[in-house]
Copies of this chain bind each other. A is one copy, B any other.
Amino acid sequence: MNYENIFQEIYRELQSVKDEGHVADYIPELARVNPDQFGVFLATINGEKYAFGDAEKRFSIQSIAKVFSFVLAYSRVKSDIWERMDLEPAGTPFNSLVQLEYDKGIPRNPFVNSGAIVVCDILVSELASPMDAILSFIHELTPHHSIRFNPRVAQSEKETGFRNYALVNLMKSFHNIHNDINQVMDLYFQLCSIEMSCRELAEAFLFLANNGVVPYSGQQILSPSRTKRTNALMQTCGFYDEAGQFTFKVGLPGKSGVGGGIVAVHPERYSIAVWSPRLNKKGNSHKGMLFLEEFTTKTKLSIF
């Protein structure tokens, strides 16, 4: 299929839709981003690549990075991560403390903030240099080898991340954080500050469409069964309080971030990354969601 034509067609259609969203503005580094940028990249398991717009431009991937830290923990740590977190949708705004208190410090899943913080705590316990390990891991997934985090973004996140500190302290009071809070949170904020382009994201997620094997290297990252389970987890938990919407309208597993990026995976076929910085009320890319909805409608390529 000529995906680039479809990209152009949808992009033209979306021009007439008013983008009501707003760029994330809780830190200056995100508030400054030009909101009119737009990029798409699709990579198939057969090696085809389709780009559109600002597909090569790096942006702050934010919560999308939680998939990398999760897969690293799921594939390579010795302890049972499911004793430390659940795998159910959150059903409440993405960083709510209420649920966490009700569940006695056990996060609902690894993709809500609290869950990603527990994953960081696990990585701090089990790995000597966890942030280096995360970046090396990303470099195993993609041929691009200069991916890094933005230290100014990490610093700004740290200075304003009071709600995340509330989460980690609450979990620590329930004994579900084992390491020093500052060490865990430094890793968490660095993780969220990783910068990648649509191309890099689509390529790095392609193993999830390919039974756990990185296509360009042939390396098996996850077993086929765990790959399916990771996709399933993205399906039910990848979009904060909008996972149902995304599943309903797009019909692919995926993950979004407040930097305006979304990656989605069609098992056995392709991965696709979109970037448009303006966010809807739920904190997901407004235009990115619409684009993917149109894309799976036009291509009839939902998994359902």
A101 and B98 form a contact (CB under 8 A): yes
The residue in chain B whose Cβ has the minimal distance to the Cβ of A165 is B169
Q: Which residues from 46 to 104 on chain A have a C-beta closer than 8 Å to any C-beta of chain B?
A: 86-92, 96-99, 101-102
Out of B170, B224, B235, B245, which one reaches A87, CB within 8 Å?
B245
**Smallest distance from the beta carbon of A205 to chain B beta carbons, Å?**
13
CB of A290 closer than 8 Å to a CB of B: no
**Smallest distance from the beta carbon of A185 to chain B beta carbons, Å?**
11
Q: What residues on B are CB-neighbors of A231 within 8 Å?
A: 304
Interface size bracket, A side: 35 or more
CB of A220 closer than 8 Å to a CB of B: no
**Smallest distance from the beta carbon of A262 to chain B beta carbons, Å?**
17
B87 and A244 form a contact (CB under 8 A): yes
The residue in chain B whose Cβ has the minimal distance to the Cβ of A172 is B162
A89-131 near B? 1/0 per residue, CB < 8 Å: 1111000111101100000110000000000000000000000
Q: What residues on B are CB-neighbors of A162 within 8 Å?
A: 169-170, 172-173, 181
B242 and A97 form a contact (CB under 8 A): no
Tell me which of A102, A241, A304 has the highest count of chain B C-beta atoms within 10 A of its own C-beta.
A304
A223-261 near B? 1/0 per residue, CB < 8 Å: 011011101110111000111110111010100000000
A158-183 near B? 1/0 per residue, CB < 8 Å: 00001101110110110000000100
**Smallest distance from the beta carbon of A251 to chain B beta carbons, Å?**
5
Q: What residues on B are CB-neighbors of A101 within 8 Å?
A: 96-98
**Smallest distance from the beta carbon of A292 to chain B beta carbons, Å?**
13
The stretch from A33-41, A137-145, A186-194, A295-303 touching chain B is A295-303
Out of B173, B181, B228, which one reaches A251, CB within 8 Å?
B228
CB of A267 closer than 8 Å to a CB of B: yes
Out of B102, B173, B232, B302, which one reaches A304, CB within 8 Å?
B232
The residue in chain B whose Cβ has the minimal distance to the Cβ of A297 is B225
Q: What residues on B are CB-neighbors of A228 within 8 Å?
A: 251, 302, 304
C-alpha gap A172/B162 in the complex (Å): 6
Q: What residues on B are CB-neighbors of A247 within 8 Å?
A: 232-233, 235-236
**Smallest distance from the beta carbon of A107 to chain B beta carbons, Å?**
12
Q: What residues on B are CB-neighbors of A237 within 8 Å?
A: 244
Q: Contacts A97-B97, A304-B235: A87 and B173 contacting too (C-beta < 8 A)?
A: no
Out of B88, B173, B225, B243, which one reaches A88, CB within 8 Å?
B243
The residue in chain B whose Cβ has the minimal distance to the Cβ of A239 is B88
**Smallest distance from the beta carbon of A48 to chain B beta carbons, Å?**
22
**Smallest distance from the beta carbon of A271 to chain B beta carbons, Å?**
13
Out of B170, B172, B227, B244, which one reaches A97, CB within 8 Å?
B170
6 interchain residue pairs of minimum CB distance = A91-B91, A89-B89, A88-B244, A166-B169, A231-B304, A162-B173
